[in-house]
Amino acid sequence: MPPRPPRPHKLLVFLVLFLFSVPLLRPIHMAPTAAAAAAVAGGGVEAEAEALLGLLQRVQSEALRAFGPNDFDPKLYVDLPLAADASAAAALASLPRAVPSRGEMEAYISRYFAPAGSDLVAAADPPDFERDPPGFLPRVERAGARAWALEVHALWKDLTRRVAPAVAARPDRHTLLPLPGRVVVPGSRFREVYYWDSYWVVRGLLVSKMYETAKDIVLNLVYLVEKYGFVLNGARSYYTNRSQPPLLSSMVLDIYMATGDMAFVRRDEEFASKLSTAAKEKFYHQVASTAETGWDFSSRWMRDSTDMTTLTTSYIIPVDLNTFILKMEQDIAFFAKLIGESTTSEIFSEASKARHNAIESVLWNADMEQWLDYWLPTDGNCQAVYQWKSNSQNRAIFASNFVPLWLNAQHSGLERFVDEAKSVRVMRSLQKSGLLQPAGIATSLSNTGQQWDFPNGWAPLQHLIVEGLLRSGSGEARELAEDIATRWVRTNYDAYKATGAMHEKYDVVTCGKSGGGGEYKPQTGFGWSNGVILSFLEEFGWPQDKEIDC
């Protein structure tokens, strides 16, 4: 009998499967439905989990009637686990029929449900956590900056959790999904793992020398792939209908580059009341698609920036999504070559080149020196040959227009996405765009009240653009990258000193001010903000004679 061929490495197989279903340039579409995900996972328990979610949505509605809209957080109610001595049937039967008073609703919730977040348990100090790890930020010389960086580093302990064993034992009693390893949550109302947040958490953990915790995060995401067929938006049953920007391969690559751990790469086993009913269904589809982008919500996805019901996300070819997919194709080509699978490497190398050409052909705007989202027609006719139209590019200015620069920041052996001369032209466009503000890069120029619009700045966007400028080959671009990072570090520092917390987003017009707007209260914690600050301090240091205050 001939010898069996070696088993494909699971992680590589997962990454390959992601890509085979992705066309060259794609608009945002929802991931498989919850029903489809349940079918993949096997049926019965998922049906019970769906029943719990239906109950919690009823509780959510009754709570809104009882407590009123002021300071109401709808997420709180769908995160509630059933109390140990309660059943879903009893909770449903006891749900108040008339409009409940505040006291009645509080008593009902206390009787039938445990507190939100109680199905996550605080982990003991992660075994790879050290108070001041060897080699931590050696170029941060100023005492105040270093003391603060160590406080940010220590926040990993506060954000590290494990999913309680009861979740795996009785998943029908929780919307939280079981995960095998330690998790790092963003913080505040975000009590679960999120996909694209995890990339910047991993980057920060690598600065903190917490390599095993970083690996746990990736292996948890791989577990979700094994169970649902894709990485969920977040580890909750109500997120099984969508994903987020595809950054899993980037996490694996960064861990490998930091540790050289081939065993990790090769591991087999861990690897709107005014709308009609039809219009509502279309609108909710667009809402879910927008959540997949990570930019929920922004005028970027609206035909009319003043009207949420004009969301048309699934008809947009986004600049950043295609950037992330191209990066994933390059990563898979790299991994495949690393483990000797040359045919697979060549397939994905060619795919990345084709996507590169498509991005430059469809999304690049030579007049603006930016990459622009492309708007597809909404008449549903996408089957015929389509003629590219220049007026279908969205000429509004968003930070995402500059995200392809990030592809310059690649592992060795690959050419830059754009050459130095073009990178400099893009840099000049950024400088003239109006996005550069005293405390960082604004998300857009439109102040709509949405959180992914002006005046908010977000850690991931600062990091993507700074890394791209930094690796462009231009000394001037490197200076701008350091200037943006300095602005961002200072606003985070001043806000931390004023509030004692790291924030989810910041108002980039005013140094030291946290951000606002959107569908919920501003949150603190905060995973990706911590990760980006540590990454910037590692990259640029902080000299003794450089002020860190605004």
d(CA 273, CA 332): 46
pLDDT of residue 265: 79
Question: What is the spatial distance between Cα 348 and Cα 341, in angstroms, rounded to a whole number?
Answer: 11
Alpha-carbon distance 433 to 67, whole Å? 44
196 and 83 in contact (C-beta within 8 Å)?
no
Q: Model confidence over 56-115: pLDDT tens digits?
A: 999 999 999 999 998 899 999 999 999 999 999 999 999 988 889 999 999 999 999 999
pLDDT at 47: 76
Domain extents for the chain? 396-550
**Predicted pLDDT of residue 122:** 86
Tell me the C-alpha to C-alpha distance, in Å, between residue 275 and each of 309, 314, 427: 9, 19, 43
For residue 71, the model assigns a pLDDT of 85
Please give the pLDDT value at position 475: 96
- 279-289 confidence digits (pLDDT tens): 778 888 898 89
Is residue 40 over pLDDT 70?
Answer: no
CB 491 within 8 A of CB 44: no
Output the average pLDDT for the chain: 89
Amino acid at 446: S
On the question of a cis peptide bond just before residue 455, with omega within 30 degrees of 0, the verdict is: yes
- Do the strands 456-458 and 505-507 form a parallel or antiparallel pair, or are they unpaired? antiparallel
The answer, yes or no, to whether residue 268 has pLDDT greater than 70, is no
The pLDDT tens digits of the residues spanning 239-254 come to 998 999 999 999 999 9
SS3 162: strand
Res 417: pLDDT: 86
Q: Is the pLDDT of residue 36 over 60?
A: no
* The predicted structure's pLDDT at residue 546: 98
How many C-beta atoms surround the C-beta of residue 127 within 10 A? 11
Q: What phi and psi, each to the nearest 5 degrees, are found at residue 513?
A: -110, 130
Q: Which pLDDT score, from 0 to 100, does residue 269 have?
A: 32
Q: Choose from 247-256, 373-382, 430-439 the range with maximum mean pLDDT.
A: 430-439
- Residue 13, pLDDT > 70, answer no
For 406-416, give one letter per residue: b (16+ CB within 10 A) or e. Answer: bbbbbeeeeeb
Rounded to whole angstroms, the Cα distance separating 271 from 291 reads 26
Among the ranges given (25-39, 90-104, 109-123), the one the predictor scored with the smallest mean pLDDT: 25-39
Please say if the pLDDT value at position 379 is more than 50: yes
Supply 204's token pair. 């920060």
User: For the residues 320-331, what does the mean pLDDT come to?
Assistant: 94
| Count of positions (residues) in the chain | 550
pLDDT at 450: 95
Report which DSSP code applies to 7. P
- The predicted model gives 49-59 an average pLDDT of 91
User: What average pLDDT does this structure show over 3-23?
Assistant: 42
The answer to whether residues 404 and 348 touch, using CB atoms and an 8 Å cutoff, is no
Residue scoring higher pLDDT (9 or 156): 156
Cα gap 371→358, rounded to integer Å? 12
Question: What is the mean predicted confidence (pLDDT) over 208-232?
Answer: 95
Lowest mean pLDDT among 140-149, 312-321, 333-342, 390-399: 333-342
Please list the alpha-helical segments (H only) found in 68-192.
74-78, 88-93, 102-112, 143-159, 165-169
Starting from the edge strand earliest in sequence, which strands make up the sheet with 183-184, in order?
120-122, 160-163, 183-184
pLDDT score of 27: 57
The residues annotated with a catalytic role in the active site are 296, 504
pLDDT band at residue 382 using 50, 70 and 90 as cut-offs:
low
pLDDT tens column, 510-533? 999 999 998 888 999 999 999 999
What mean pLDDT do residues 28-55 have?
58
Cβ-contact 214, 478 below 8 angstroms: no
Kind of pairing between the strands at 316-317 and 160-163: unpaired
